[in-house]
């Protein structure tokens, strides 16, 4: 059996001040690369400026949800009484719009914010016109004056008066909050998915760093996870789990040499059988992967 060739020792993580690394695959990148040439992932994304929404944001959302409900109530009332088909048509248009806007605002999409502001401005104008020029919007009311219909239209007027007041307050609330209070809730910033040294890295203990690394690995950010597993291992070198995780991350990223170094060290210093099995299994896998890579390289060279 041929001796295993010594894999090149290339620690790109130690040269972060000179180069950019893809957070997913550890590919070295040029300054403003937007897509990784190796794993083809997008290297930027937009995230909200503030993770937690403000109190004003919830009130803003409540106003919009309120308008959805008011629209629905008006549709039901109109279907039952049929006093103003124009209102029915209008609310038939507003209801789905507010429903979509409520969803977008709930997801904190900027489009939801702009949409809500535009809708509130239009809604407010519409209410104003209804008040001052009712003939534009109520063409079919005050028809067929039987006593029963009079009674229905009387109570309907009270209800529509309440709805009018609530809608007016909601539109006003949306515009007020929208202009002065909630813009920061929808503000986003661009982040780069490149390996960096997080400010809190060296304040983290092993367990916290391991948890973060695990989460990043689940997102596919193996190269970034390496930073945290290194920290975890530096904090508690006796934890086999941290060392195994780091070795596995190196293997996945194609740094088999680094992985094998760690696994060899672990084999010398670990006594529990269960851990030794895991180490041996990962080492076999890593060596296999390395040999396969060498094989492919040799074939390429021969061609």
Q: Which is nearer to Zn ion, 36 or 67 (CB)?
A: 36
Q: Which is nearer to Zn ion, 39 or 241 (CB)?
A: 39
Q: For residue 156, give the nearest of 95, 80, 226, 219 by alpha carbon.
A: 80
How far apart are the C-alpha atoms of 165 and 140, rounded to whole Å? 22
Residue 3: burial class (beta carbons within 10 Å; 0-12, 13-18, 19+): exposed
Residues of span 16-75 touching Zn ion by CB under 5 A: 22, 24-25, 27, 36, 38-39
**Cβ-proximal residues to 119 (8 Å cutoff; 6+ apart), any chain:** 94, 97, 98, 101, 174
Q: For residue 121, give the nearest of 138, 148, 101, 149 by alpha carbon.
A: 101
Q: Which is nearer to Zn ion, 41 or 109 (CB)?
A: 41
Q: For residue 107, give the nearest of 116, 95, 96, 118 by alpha carbon.
A: 116
Q: Which is nearer to Zn ion, 25 or 67 (CB)?
A: 25
**Cβ-proximal residues to 121 (8 Å cutoff; 6+ apart), any chain:** 171, 175
Compute the least distance from the CB of residue 30 to Zn ion, in Å: 13
Compute the least distance from the CB of residue 41 to Zn ion, in Å: 6
The site that binds Zn ion (CB under 5 A) totals a number of residues, namely: 7
- Furthest C-alpha separation in the chain: 105
Q: Which is nearer to Zn ion, 40 or 203 (CB)?
A: 40
Q: Which is nearer to Zn ion, 26 or 209 (CB)?
A: 26
How far apart are the C-alpha atoms of 121 and 100, rounded to whole Å? 17
How far apart are the C-alpha atoms of 174 and 284, rounded to whole Å? 62
Q: Which is nearer to Zn ion, 36 or 243 (CB)?
A: 36
Compute the least distance from the CB of residue 35 to Zn ion, in Å: 9
* Residue 22 φ/ψ, nearest 5 degrees: -65, 130
Compute the least distance from the CB of residue 44 to Zn ion, in Å: 13
Compute the least distance from the CB of residue 299 to Zn ion, in Å: 25
Measured over the CA atoms of residue 16, residue 21, residue 27 and residue 28, the dihedral's sign is: negative
3 state DSSP class of 60: helix
Compute the least distance from the CB of residue 189 to Zn ion, in Å: 22
The token pair that represents 195 in the structure block: 């390996």
Compute the least distance from the CB of residue 23 to Zn ion, in Å: 8
Compute the least distance from the CB of residue 32 to Zn ion, in Å: 15
CA dihedral (97, 99, 105, 107) in degrees, to 10, reads -130
Q: Which is nearer to Zn ion, 38 or 54 (CB)?
A: 38
Residues making contact with Zn ion (CB under 5 A): 22, 24-25, 27, 36, 38-39
């Amino acid at each position: 059996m041929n001796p295993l060739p010594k894999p090149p020792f290339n620690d790109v993580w130690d040269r972060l001040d000179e180069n950019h690394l893809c957070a997913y695959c550890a590919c070295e990148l040029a300054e403003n690369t937007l897509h990784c040439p190796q794993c083809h992932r997008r290297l930027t994304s937009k995230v909200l400026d503030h993770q937690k929404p403000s109190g004003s944001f919830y009130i803003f959302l409540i106003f919009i949800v309120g308008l959805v409900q008011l629209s629905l109530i008006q549709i039901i009332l109109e279907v039952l009484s049929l006093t103003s088909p124009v209102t029915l048509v209008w609310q038939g248009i507003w209801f789905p719009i507010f429903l979509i806007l409520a969803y977008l605002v709930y997801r904190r999409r900027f489009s939801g914010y702009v949409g809500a502001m535009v809708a509130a401005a239009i809604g407010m104008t519409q209410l104003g016109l209804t008040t001052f020029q009712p003939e534009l919007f109520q063409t079919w009311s005050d028809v067929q004056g039987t006593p029963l219909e009079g009674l229905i239209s009387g109570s309907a007027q009270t209800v529509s008066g309440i709805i009018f007041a609530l809608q007016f307050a909601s539109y006003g609330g949306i515009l007020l909050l929208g202009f002065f209070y909630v813009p920061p809730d929808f503000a986003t910033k661009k982040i780069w998915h490149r390996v960096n040294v997080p400010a809190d890295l060296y304040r983290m203990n092993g367990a916290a760093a391991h948890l973060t690394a695990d989460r990043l690995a689940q997102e596919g950010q193996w190269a970034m996870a390496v930073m945290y597993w290194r920290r975890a291992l530096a904090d508690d070198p006796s934890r086999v789990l941290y060392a195994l995780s780091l070795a596995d991350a190196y293997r996945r990223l194609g740094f088999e040499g680094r992985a094998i170094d760690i696994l060899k060290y672990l084999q010398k210093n670990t006594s529990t059988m269960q851990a030794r099995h895991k180490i041996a299994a990962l080492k076999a896998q890593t060596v296999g992967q390395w040999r396969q890579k060498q094989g492919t390289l040799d074939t390429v060279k021969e061609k």
